[in-house]
Structures are given as C-alpha cells and as structure tokens.
Amino acid sequence: MEVIIRKDAASAINLTAEILADAITAKPDLVLGLATGRTMENLYDNLVERHKNEGLDFSLCKSFNLDEYIGLSGDNENSYRYYMNHFLFNRVNIDLRNTHLPDGATEDLDGEGERYEQAIADAGGVDIQLLGIGRTGHIGFNEPLSSLMSRTRQKALAPVTIEQNSPLFDNPEDMPKRAFTMGVGTILDSGKVIMLVTGKEKAEILAKAVEGPVTAMISATALQLHPNTVVICDEEAAELLTEKDYYKWIFDNEPEWEKYRNLK
C-alpha cells in the first residue's frame, strides 16, 4: 500500500483523475471498477472535463460499480445506476451497454451476486478499482464483520451507514436497508486499487484502515493485503496518520511518482 497526501481535496481528486486518465490512455479497453458517494462527484466532474477538453476517450472502456441499493430500479433518482448515469456515463462517450451495476430491482436476490461475479470474470476482471470509504470503514457496502474473502452478495446496512446516506434521500425513511455489494474478496481480485479519501470526518477511520491491524470489523483494512493499492487523501483526512513524513518522502522520491509531483 502507498499513501499519497495532497494539500486539499481538489488536488487529491486531480491526482486520482490524472492516474485514471493515464491508465485509460495506455489501455483504451480498461475495465474500471467505480464507486459512488459524495467524494466521487468532483472526481467524475474532473474526468468529464478531461473528456471534453483533452479528448479522454471512454468508448472502449467497461465499468463495474461496487454496489447498488436493493429495491431501487435504475430510474429511481437515489439508485446508484441513476447517480452513475447522471455524474459520469451520460456526460462521456462510454457505451452504456458496457457499464454494469448490480440490478437493485431483480427478484433473484440470491442469484444476483453470482451473475455479477460472472459478468466481471467475462470482462477479464477489474483493472483498476476506485474506492471511497464509509464511516464504518466499509468499502463498497462491506459492513463490519464482512468476510475478508466475501464475494458479491446482498448485505444488511449498518445503522451508521443508514445515518450517513439517508440525508441524500428526499424522504430519509425511503433509504433501503439492504444493498448488493461486491465482496471484499472481489475487490482484492482487481489489478490495482485507488482509494480516494477527503475531509476531516474521515481522518479517524482512515488512520485505522491504513495503520491499524487487519480486521473484518473494518473492511478497508483488507487493502493492506492487496499488492497494488494506493490511498490518495488530503491533509485533513491524513491528520491522524502517524507516518505522514514517510509517505511524503516516498511520493517525493520514488520514480513512479515523478510525473505527478508538480500536478496542481
């Protein structure tokens, strides 16, 4: 795992977008693992700008999102399908047929996870998985005690998560209490992981995720087991990390980061 600390959210987002854009340019048929949440909204705006101004080409990309609320169909404004169409897919030249989320409206609740896993496998696996982190330390919707080997499945949401996300619903009571989510094991199978974390309210959980012991209580700690994970955060989210100077030294000295050092 590497941790890159940028001075503010805008530069953490810009670095994440730059890495993604470089990856898409190097491999136009990249399989992207995508995430939702407030943190990602500005990232998707940044990618849309790059599409418009620099010709960043999504036409051959495929995507698989982490999760979807159970009981919401794609035309529901609070579904993650709606979010993705709104913030990214409808604003770039990705082929909608190549964009995938679990089907929140399916009647086959037990079969959906297996179907989704097969679709990921058929696409050759996820090349780069983008992640945020929830207040419980969840990645996707892998709430505390999710098996670190779990696969895509339905999951009951923790009260803290319901409290975190229900304000996004017109009527907070309407927030589903269950979701489909890629498993921790599914996420660990991706070629590279980028976790983007901004804001002081994430400082405590980020310190536990990065520097604490690996535990099923905090599914993001499983990323310590992944051979190619980079955490990109701002100063506020990094505040409680104990080894900040070391992480900064790596960014300032390792050749792989040279081209990104002067990025705004």
Contacts with ligand GLP, residue ranges (CB under 6 A): 35-39, 66-67, 132-134, 140-141, 161, 165
181 three-class SS? strand
Name the 3-class secondary structure at 247. Answer: helix
**Which are the contacts of 248, defined by CB distance < 8 A and separation ≥ 6?**
5
**Helix or strand run (H / E) with residue 180:** strand 178-181
Query: Would strands 178-181 and 67-69 be described as parallel, antiparallel, or unpaired?
Result: antiparallel
Q: How far is the CB of 141 from ligand GLP (least distance, A)?
A: 5
Of 178 and 248, the one with the shorter C-beta distance to ligand GLP is 178
As to burial, measured by CB atoms within 10 angstroms (0-12 exposed, 13-18 middle, 19+ buried), residue 111 is: exposed
* Cβ-based nearer residue to ligand GLP, 23 or 34: 34
Rounded to the nearest whole angstrom, what is the least distance from the CB of residue 199 to ligand GLP in the complex?
8
In sign, the C-alpha dihedral spanning 90, 96, 100, 104 is: positive
Closer to ligand GLP by Cβ: residue 95 or 231: 231
Q: Which is nearer to ligand GLP, 16 or 165 (CB)?
A: 165
Kindly tell me which of 168 and 254 has the beta carbon lying closer to ligand GLP.
168
The minimum distance between CB 122 and ligand GLP, in angstroms, equals 23
Beta carbon of residue 241, minimum distance to ligand GLP (angstroms, whole number): 18
| 192 DSSP β-pair partners | 128
CA separation, residue 158 to residues 3, 64, 121 (Å): 27, 23, 29
The phi and psi torsions of 143 (rounded to 5 degrees) equal -70, 170
96 burial type by CB count under 10 A (0-12 exposed, 13-18 middle, 19+ buried): exposed
Q: Which is nearer to ligand GLP, 1 or 250 (CB)?
A: 1
Nearer to ligand GLP, 14 or 39 (CB): 39
Q: How far is the CB of 56 from ligand GLP (least distance, A)?
A: 22
Q: Which two tokens stand for residue 83?
A: 């979010």
CB of 131 to ligand GLP, least distance (A): 6
Give the nearer residue to ligand GLP in terms of CB position, either 147 or 258.
147
Cβ–Cβ under 8 Å, residues 57 and 167: no
**Beta carbon of residue 165, minimum distance to ligand GLP (angstroms, whole number):** 6
11: phi then psi, degrees, rounded to nearest 5:
-80, -30
Residue 21: phi and psi, rounded to 5, are: -65, -45
CB of 195 to ligand GLP, least distance (A): 9
